[in-house]
């Protein structure tokens, strides 16, 4: 029998429930992760105690919150850490494919485990009685298989979000889908659109940020294509270009695999070439081109992420990355300063990471030169940061008010003059000092504003 070491705070919650006469276990992800030798992210508890009883039992000590009373969930707090305690329950039918029509509290832990999604997520544990594992979750852990509890099609039809969860867990655990589960997933992929976009987006992000995301999507792409049909056009597309050794979909997956696991980056990796199939041309030498794909890609990315209800800030960041992903800024100081001006510091680290990954997903020839360019840009960015070199109008040692005082007409002329001065500074022709800038501004005003 495996032993799981519980944090003292968790043991205390179990003990208090048990002392009051109610069965209680840790359950789900924390049991799975512990058995795999991984550190659980959080500890969930299930119990025979009704939610009102849990509220009363912990009222004096754990600031219990009735976070989901209808579904039997109470959240307890110990030293700022939340612990969800959920009453054993079964679920009624999911007639809308989104949430159970009803839940019913039950007295047996095995009934509660039967409603859970995958066998490896359907184990409970108590330090005195050991593991409760009615669906051989342990066996599937050792076989490294993700398998639905019960009949796969029925379970996916009850709650279509489980389709995406199946890929997410396969990717994060490094498991294969058991064959019936995989078959049902292929057959029912289209029903994912019945799930609310907010639930989908959150699972999709977790899937993309999992270690094995690219490998799992290579084997099981159907579900992703149901969510983002634009990507399906990448499959089989021969890029016919010496820079590329992969077909387009394989290239996208290679870039995904090569990016650090941050949501903005992984989404940008997935979508960076989304417009390529729509921009594909072949010249008279038989060479493929994708003119305008970053701009059209940014537009499509914006549209896709709106459709998926991606939070605004994240959407803007991903869209900016797609727009700039193909920008081959030379490793020269003025060009790098212009890149800071145009892209902004907040996006640059992700942009460089995306460009490295994009390069790694291309032909081996020229690889070193391409990576050296990115390294060179990065080194120059360090210099810009260290020496606080001016890259934006806001960093100029002169502002609009001062230009007006020098006789600049108001309105758009102020912005134009500031940007001409910034260009001179970036090119290294002018010092970013108030004296130099006002002398240059005076001279320019005397010659009248260009443009």
Q: Pick from 112, 140, 159, 250: which binds ligand ATP (CB under 6 A)? A: 159
**Rounded alpha-carbon distances, angstroms, from residue 169 to 79, 143, 287, 323, 381:** 30, 14, 40, 31, 38
Residues 6+ apart with CB under 8 A from 310: 201, 267, 318
Interface with Mg ion: number of residues (CB under 5 A): 1
Per CB under 5 A, which region of 26-34, 123-131, 231-239, 299-307 contacts Mg ion? 26-34
Q: Which does 377 bind (CB under 5 to 8 A by kind): Mg ion, ligand ATP, none?
A: none
Helix (H, G, I), strand (E, B) or coil at 182: helix
Closest distance to ligand ATP from the beta carbon of 113 (Å): 8
**Residue whose CB is less far from Mg ion, 29 or 260:** 29
CA-atom Rg of the chain in angstroms: 28
Closest distance to ligand ATP from the beta carbon of 159 (Å): 5
DSSP calls for 74-142: EEEEETTEEEEEEE-EEE---TTSSS-S-EEE-S-HHHHHHTSSBGGG--EEETTTEEE-TT-HHHHHH
**Residue whose CB is less far from Mg ion, 27 or 398:** 27
Closest distance to ligand ATP from the beta carbon of 214 (Å): 19
CB-facing half-sphere around the CA of 93: CA atoms within 13 A: 2
- The reply on whether position 28 binds ligand ATP by CB under 6 A is yes
DSSP calls for 338-394: HHHHHH-TTTHHHHHHHHHHHHHTS-STTHHHHHHHHHHHHHHHHHHHHTT---SGG
- The reply on whether position 178 binds ligand ATP by CB under 6 A is no
Q: Which does 162 bind (CB under 5 to 8 A by kind): ligand ATP, Mg ion, none?
A: ligand ATP
Q: Pick from 21, 37, 41, 80: which binds ligand ATP (CB under 6 A)? A: 41
Residues 6+ apart with CB under 8 A from 115: 89, 90, 91, 149
Closest distance to ligand ATP from the beta carbon of 115 (Å): 6
- The reply on whether position 161 binds ligand ATP by CB under 6 A is yes
Per CB under 6 A, which region of 16-24, 158-166, 265-273, 402-410 contacts ligand ATP? 158-166
Helix (H, G, I), strand (E, B) or coil at 68: strand
DSSP calls for 200-237: HHHHHHHHHTSTTHHHHHHH--HHHHHH-GGGGGGTT-
Q: Pick from 54, 73, 87, 121: which binds ligand ATP (CB under 6 A)? A: 121
How far is residue 375's CA from residue 356's CA, in Å, rounded to a whole number? 9
Q: Calculate helix-pair angle for 367-386, 333-343, nearest 10 degrees.
A: 80
Closest distance to ligand ATP from the beta carbon of 122 (Å): 6
Q: Which does 159 bind (CB under 5 to 8 A by kind): Mg ion, ligand ATP, none?
A: ligand ATP
Closest distance to ligand ATP from the beta carbon of 75 (Å): 13
Closest distance to Mg ion from the beta carbon of 40 (Å): 8
Per CB under 6 A, which region of 156-164, 311-319, 323-331, 364-372 contacts ligand ATP? 156-164
Closest distance to ligand ATP from the beta carbon of 172 (Å): 7
Q: Is the dihedral angle over the CA atoms 143, 149, 153, 155 positive or is it negative?
A: negative
**Residue whose CB is less far from ligand ATP, 166 or 264:** 166
How far is residue 131's CA from residue 26's CA, in Å, rounded to a whole number? 10
Q: Which does 116 bind (CB under 5 to 8 A by kind): Mg ion, ligand ATP, none?
A: ligand ATP
Nearest to 402 by CA among 393, 425, 338: 393
Closest distance to ligand ATP from the beta carbon of 187 (Å): 18
Q: Are 20 and 38 in contact (CB under 8 A)?
A: no
Per CB under 6 A, which region of 113-121, 133-141, 207-215, 410-418 contacts ligand ATP? 113-121
Closest distance to Mg ion from the beta carbon of 41 (Å): 6
How far is residue 11's CA from residue 14's CA, in Å, rounded to a whole number? 5
Q: Which does 425 bind (CB under 5 to 8 A by kind): Mg ion, ligand ATP, none?
A: none
Closest residue to Mg ion using C-beta atoms: 29
- The reply on whether position 29 binds Mg ion by CB under 5 A is yes
**Residue whose CB is less far from Mg ion, 47 or 234:** 47
Nearest to 85 by CA among 13, 11, 8, 7: 13
Q: Pick from 17, 18, 74, 117: which binds ligand ATP (CB under 6 A)? A: 117
- The reply on whether position 68 binds Mg ion by CB under 5 A is no
- The reply on whether position 116 binds ligand ATP by CB under 6 A is yes
How far is residue 417's CA from residue 405's CA, in Å, rounded to a whole number? 13
Per CB under 6 A, which region of 46-54, 116-124, 277-285, 352-360 contacts ligand ATP? 116-124
First to last CA, the chain: 80
Nearest to 189 by CA among 152, 240, 238: 152
**Residue whose CB is less far from ligand ATP, 95 or 365:** 95
Q: Are 176 and 146 in contact (CB under 8 A)?
A: yes
Q: Which residues of the shown chain bind ligand ATP in the complex (CB under 6 A)? A: 28-29, 41, 44, 116-117, 121-122, 159, 161-162
Q: Which residues of the shown chain bind Mg ion in the complex (CB under 5 A)? A: 29
């Amino acid at each position: 029998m495996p032993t799981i070491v519980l944090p003292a705070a968790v043991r205390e919650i179990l003990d208090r429930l048990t002392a009051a006469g109610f069965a209680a276990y840790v359950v789900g992800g924390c049991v799975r992760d512990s058995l795999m030798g991984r550190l659980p992210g959080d500890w969930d508890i299930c119990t025979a105690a009704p939610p009102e009883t849990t509220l009363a039992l912990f009222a004096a000590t754990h600031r219990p919150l009735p976070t989901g009373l209808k579904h039997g969930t109470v959240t307890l707090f110990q030293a700022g850490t939340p612990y969800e305690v959920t009453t054993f329950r079964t679920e009624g039918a999911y007639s809308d494919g989104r949430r159970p029509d009803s839940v019913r509290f039950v007295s047996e832990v095995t009934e509660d485990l039967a409603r859970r999604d995958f066998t490896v997520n359907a184990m409970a544990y108590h330090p005195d009685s050991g593991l409760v594992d009615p669906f051989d979750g342990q066996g599937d852990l050792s076989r490294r298989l993700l398998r639905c509890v019960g009949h796969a099609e029925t379970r996916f039809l009850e709650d279509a979000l489980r389709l995406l969860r199946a890929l997410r867990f396969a990717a994060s655990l490094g498991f294969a889908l058991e064959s019936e589960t995989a078959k049902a997933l292929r057959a029912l992929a289209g029903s994912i659109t019945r799930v609310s976009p907010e639930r989908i987006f959150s699972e999709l992000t977790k899937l993309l940020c999992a270690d094995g995301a690219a490998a799992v999507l290579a084997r099981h792409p159907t579900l992703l294509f149901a969510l983002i049909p634009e990507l399906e056009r990448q499959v089989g597309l021969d890029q016919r270009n010496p820079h590329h050794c992969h077909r387009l979909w394989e290239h996208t997956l290679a870039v995904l695999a090569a990016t650090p696991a941050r949501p903005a980056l992984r989404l940008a990796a997935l979508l960076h070439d989304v417009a390529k199939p729509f921009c594909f041309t072949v010249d008279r030498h038989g060479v493929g081109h994708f003119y305008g794909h970053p701009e059209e890609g940014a537009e499509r990315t914006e549209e896709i992420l709106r459709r998926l209800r991606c939070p605004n800030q994240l959407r803007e960041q991903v869209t900016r990355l797609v727009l700039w992903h193909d920008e081959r800024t030379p490793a020269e100081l003025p060009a790098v300063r212009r890149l800071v001006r145009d892209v902004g510091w907040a996006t640059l680290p992700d942009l460089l990471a995306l460009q490295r990954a994009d390069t790694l997903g291309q032909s081996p020839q020229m690889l070193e030169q391409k990576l050296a360019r990115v390294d060179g840009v990065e080194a120059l960015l360090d210099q810009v940061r260290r020496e606080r070199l001016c890259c934006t109008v806001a960093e100029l040692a002169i502002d609009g008010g001062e230009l007006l005082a020098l006789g600049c007409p108001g309105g758009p002329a102020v912005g134009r003059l500031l940007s001409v001065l910034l260009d001179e500074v970036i090119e290294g022709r002018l010092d970013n000092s108030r004296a130099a800038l006002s002398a240059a501004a005076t001279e320019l005003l005397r010659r009248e504003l260009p443009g």
